[in-house]
Amino acid sequence: MKVARPVLRGDSAPRGQGPTRHTYTRGVMELTGWREALDAAAALLARARSAGATVIHVINDGGPGTPYDVRAEIGQIHPDVAPVEGERVVVKQAPDAFVGTDLGALVDVAGHQDVVIAGFMTHMCVAFTTAGAFLRGNRPTVVADACATRPLRSGATELTAAQIHRGALATVGDLYGVVAESAADLG
């Protein structure tokens, strides 16, 4: 990993006391493989910190009373990937974290075009933020095992989380960026 490459941690599993308090760990929004992805994201984050990379966390605020309420425990960043002193947190309200936020300015201040992206959900915020990074001139890399998503229906077809995850990563890899299977593939 290049020392100054910004790492964007997006929409990580909200803070809680276990599966009963997380937006992405229970109910209709539960992500397949969320624990493994969170562990991979924590390892990626540790690696970025030890390399001296700029780390920018991104969290979605859906407003009071929603599963993305950043004022409530359910909407906070999971302690496994929580910011440490000096790391910025960007609060967004759109799937593309560059829309309506200062993320672009923060990435520019870091001084590099390369960004590493990981987080939840692969098919939504990860894919749209990656596209946003590309469209503004950055060179994004998504770390696949540090992302997760959930099964979805498309018309009459049930799609597995693996199909959704791989489809989103294929879209990223087709135009918007590089897909690394794990942090080990970053070099």
Structural domain contains residue 168: yes
Collapsing DSSP to helix, strand or coil, 46 comes out as helix
Per-residue model confidence as pLDDT tens digits over 66-86: 888 888 877 888 888 999 999
- Rounded to two decimals, what is the model's pTM? 0.90
Mean pLDDT, rounded, for 6-13: 52
Q: Note whether residue 51 is domain-resident.
A: yes
Number of structural domains the chain divides into: 1
Residue 36 lies in a domain: yes
Q: For residue 2, tell me if it sits in a domain.
A: no
CATH number of the domain bearing residue 108: 3.40.50.850
Which of residues 172 and 62 earns the better pLDDT score?
172
pLDDT for 13 beyond 50: no
Return the percent helix, strand and coil in the chain, to nearest 5: 40, 25, 35
Residue 152 lies in a domain: yes
Residue carrying structure tokens 């605020």: 61
Q: Which residues 6+ apart lie within 8 Å of 91 measured at CB? A: 59, 60, 61, 70, 101
Annotated catalytic residue: which of 8, 56, 125, 161?
Answer: 125
Cα(11)–Cα(36) distance, rounded to whole angstroms?
15
Answer whether residue 1 is part of any domain.
no
- The first and second tokens of residue 89, run together, are 């947190």
Residue 32 placed within a domain: yes
- The answer to whether residue 67 is domain-embedded is yes
What residue type is assigned to position 111 of the chain? G
Which neighbouring-strand residues pair with 157? Answer: 154
> 81-121 pLDDT, tens per residue?
999 999 999 999 999 999 999 999 999 999 989 999 999 99
Q: Which domain range does residue 26 map to? A: 7-186
Active site residue 147: no
